Amino acid sequence: MAHLAHQPVGGAVDAPPTVIPLASPTPVLAVDALCKRFGPDLEVLSAVTLSVSRGESVAVIGANGSGKSTLLRCCVRLIEPSAGRVRILDTDVTAARRRVLRRVRQRVGFVFQRHNLVPRLSVLSNVIHGAMGRTGALAWHQGAASPAMRGEAMHCLERVGLAELARRRADQLSGGQSQRVAIARALMQRPEVVLADEPVASLDPSAGAEVMDLFARLMRDEAVTVVFTTHNLEHARQHAGRVVALRGGRVSFDLETARVPFDALGDLYAR
């Protein structure tokens, strides 16, 4: 099945039913022919097409530099796509004006590969930041937040196992702790969609498994849609319903997990 890695298969919106049975007619996340160029001769994403339904869990895999982070970032327009469209939750993100974009982003929890915590604030403040979309700028600091919000933030921290570090300054965390704070911040958004960029790369095996389980619970109990990138194929196999593989900025394959040739992915990662 190694040939799969070479020729893009299915998953494109213009021919979805044959390959992937979409769970619901209107996808939660629909990426259509997305392109991103940095400068004239650096095309990082080439016509990426992808569709994710409510409650699905999709793993995005691919070699370093294959465009995974760029894809996720384009989805919420942290990077302005060069061409193509992205729809999230029935909103055309690529065309959205500022207010609309804000409303969509509020519903999407994003976990950054580099965590992106505010270094000088406490862990708790950083988590409460997740609520800013719905409660406004007052959530900038734990000292200014309402008791309910503080309680909820503690709950989110507890879910990632860091409640006892609430008071610590964010720049005094270990790598894995800071990653988990970033996840807690995304949870604080009460997201309908989670886009997580290597959310467990710095986590120890047990913490990584817990986070993946947490995502699974969110999907099951609250119909949250999760798209995560990972280099850990075991995680992709166990926790994703579908796997999208990127190679050089193109979709190499887009398959239900059961059909992914996990043992023959050499080509995907070959340089």
Partner 1 sequence: MRAEPARSGPPAPGRFVRPSALSFALWVGAAALLLWSLQTAELSLSRLVNGLPQMARLLGEMMPPATSRLENIAETLLDTFRMALVGTLFGVLLSLPLAVAAARGLSPARPVYYLARALITFFRTVPDLVWAIFFVVTVGLGPFAGVLTLTVDTMGYCGRFFAEAMEEVDTGPQEALRTAGSGRAGVIIGAVIPSALPSMIASSLFALEQATRSSVILGLVGAGGIGIELKASMDMFEYDQAATIIIAIFILVAGVERVSSALRARLI
Which of partner 1, Mg ion, a copy of itself, none sits in contact with 211, Cβ below 5 to 8 A by type? none
Q: Interface mask (CB under 6 A) for ligand ATP, residues 133-172, using x and -?
A: ---------------------------------------x
Q: Is 152 in the site for partner 1 (CB under 8 A)?
A: yes
Instruction: Assess 203 for contact with a copy of itself (CB under 8 A).
Output: yes
Nearest to 128 by CA among 108, 151, 111, 110: 151
Pick from 36, 68, 87, 129: which binds partner 1 (CB under 8 A)?
129
Considering just the CA atoms, what is the radius of gyration of the chain in Å?
A: 18
Region from 18-26, 56-64, 187-195, 203-211 binding partner 1, contact rule CB under 8 A: 187-195
Pick 55 or 176: Cβ nearer Mg ion: 176
Using the minimum distance from each CB to a copy of itself, give the nearer residue, 3 or 114. 114
**Residue 134, contacted partner among ligand ATP, partner 1, Mg ion, none, CB below 5-8 A by kind:** partner 1
Task: State yes or no: residue 106 binds partner 1 (CB under 8 A).
Answer: yes
Among 70, 177, 189, 229, binds partner 1 (CB under 8 A): 189
Work out whether 154 is an interface residue with partner 1 (CB under 8 A). Answer: yes
Q: Which stretch binds a copy of itself (CB under 8 A): 8-16, 58-66, 87-95, 133-141?
A: 58-66
| Binding interface with partner 1 (CB under 8 A) | 76, 78, 102-110, 112, 114-121, 124, 129-130, 132-134, 136-137, 139-143, 147-159, 163, 166-167, 182, 185-186, 189-190, 192, 222
